[in-house]
Structure 1
Amino acid sequence: MGGNVSSMDGTHVVVVGGGFGGVAAARYLKSWGISFTLIDMRDAFHHNVAALRASVLPDFAHRTFIPFTATFGDAFLQGRVVGVDTERQAVLLEGGREVKFTHLIVATGTDGHFPGKFNTTSSLQTAVQAYSDLVQQVQQADSILVVGGGTTGVEMAAELKTAHPHKKVVLIHSRTELADPGMLPSVRQEAKEVLLEKGVELLLGQKVSNLSELQLNVAQKNTVVTLEGGDHVTIDLIICCTGLRVNSVAYASSLSGSMTSSGALKVNDHMQVDGFTNIFAVGDCADVNEPKMAYHAALHADVAVTNIANSVSGKELKSYRTGAVTMLLALGHDEGVGQFNGMRLPRCLVAWGKSRSLLLWKSWWEMGQKQP
Structure 2
Amino acid sequence: MSKSTVQLEISQAIWSRRQLLKSGVGLLAGLSGLTSLRAFADVPHIVVVGGGFGGATAAKYLKIWGKDTVNVTLIEPNDKFSSPILSGMVVTSQLEVEKLDFGYSRLTGIHGVNLVKDRVTAVDSAGKTVTLSDGVSTISYDRLILAPGIDFIDVPGWDKTKLPHAWSGREQLVTLQQQLADFPVGGTLVIKVPKLPYRCPPGPYERASTVADYLRVNNKKANVIVLDAQPEISIEADMFHALYTEFGVEYRPNIEVISVNSGDAEGNGRSVTFSQSGGPFEIIEADVINLIADHKAGSIIFDAGLNVDNWAPINPLTYESTVAGKENIYILGDSQATTQVKGGQAANAQAKICVDAILRTMAGDLPYATPITTVGCSAPVTQSKINWAGKAWRFNSGTGLMEVSAGNAAPEPSEVYLQPMLKWANNLFADTFG
TM-score (normalised: structure 1): 0.81
Q: Distance in 2 between matches of 1:351 and 1:146?
A: 28
2:345 is the alignment partner of 1:295:
yes
Cα distance, 1:289 vs. partner?
1.8
- Structure 1 partner of 2:367: 317
SS of match in other structure, 2:59 = helix
More helix by share: 1
Give ranges in structure 1 of 5+ residues lacking alignment: 119-126
1:243-280 deviations in whole A, cap 9, x for unaligned? 11111x224343x2x53122313335222222455222
1:51-66 matches, within 5 Å, as 51-57=87-93, 60-66=96-102
- Could you tell me whether the CA contact under 8 Å between 2:333 and 2:346 is conserved in 1? yes
2:190 is the alignment partner of 1:190:
no
- Could you tell me whether the CA contact under 8 Å between 1:330 and 1:350 is conserved in 2? no
- Could you tell me whether the CA contact under 8 Å between 1:172 and 1:204 is conserved in 2? yes
Q: Distance in 2 between matches of 1:359 and 1:326?
A: 9
- Structure 1 partner of 2:118: 79
1:32-181 matches, within 5 Å, as 32=65, 33=67, 34-57=70-93, 60-73=96-109, 75-95=114-134, 96-112=136-152, 114-118=165-169, 127=170, 131-142=173-184, 143=187, 144-148=189-193, 151-165=202-216, 166-167=219-220, 168=222, 169-179=224-234
Q: Distance in 2 between matches of 1:241 and 1:354?
A: 28
Cα distance, 1:160 vs. partner?
1.5
Q: Distance in 1 between matches of 2:422 and 2:78?
A: 24
Report the residue type matching 1:107 in the other structure.
A
Cα distance, 1:13 vs. partner?
0.7
Give ranges in structure 2 of 5+ residues lacking alignment: 1-16, 18-33, 153-163, 195-200, 392-405
SS of match in other structure, 1:175 = coil
- Could you tell me whether the CA contact under 8 Å between 1:47 and 1:363 is conserved in 2? no
Q: Distance in 2 between matches of 1:327 and 1:151?
A: 9
Cα distance, 1:66 vs. partner?
0.5
2:267 is the alignment partner of 1:220:
yes
- Structure 1 partner of 2:292: 241
Instruction: Report the more deviating stretch, 351-360 or 311-320.
Output: 351-360
Identity of aligned residues (%): 19
Alignment RMSD (CA, Å):
3.2
Would the alpha carbon gap of residues 31 and 298 (structure 1) be closer, same or farther in structure 2, given more than 3 Å must change?
same
- Could you tell me whether the CA contact under 8 Å between 1:300 and 1:320 is conserved in 2? no
- Structure 2 partner of 1:16: 49
Q: Distance in 2 between matches of 1:330 and 1:313?
A: 45
How many positions carry a matched residue from both structures? Answer: 349
Would the alpha carbon gap of residues 221 and 279 (structure 1) be closer, same or farther in structure 2, given more than 3 Å must change?
closer
- Could you tell me whether the CA contact under 8 Å between 1:146 and 1:157 is conserved in 2? yes
1:189-208 matches, within 5 Å, as 189-208=238-257
Q: Distance in 1 between matches of 2:204 and 2:144?
A: 34
Cα distance, 1:361 vs. partner?
1.6
The structure, 1 or 2, with the larger RCO (C-alpha pairs under 8 Å, 6+ apart) is 2
SS of match in other structure, 1:170 = strand
1:289-308 deviations in whole A, cap 9, x for unaligned? 22223222222211211122
Instruction: Report the more deviating stretch, 80-89 or 142-151.
Output: 142-151
Q: Distance in 2 between matches of 1:339 and 1:89?
A: 38
1:123-172 deviations in whole A, cap 9, x for unaligned? xxxx4x55334322211123321122663321221231233323312212
TM-score (normalised: structure 2): 0.70
Instruction: Report the more deviating stretch, 64-73 or 318-327.
Output: 318-327
Would the alpha carbon gap of residues 215 and 66 (structure 1) be closer, same or farther in structure 2, given more than 3 Å must change?
farther
Q: Distance in 2 between matches of 1:251 and 1:227?
A: 30
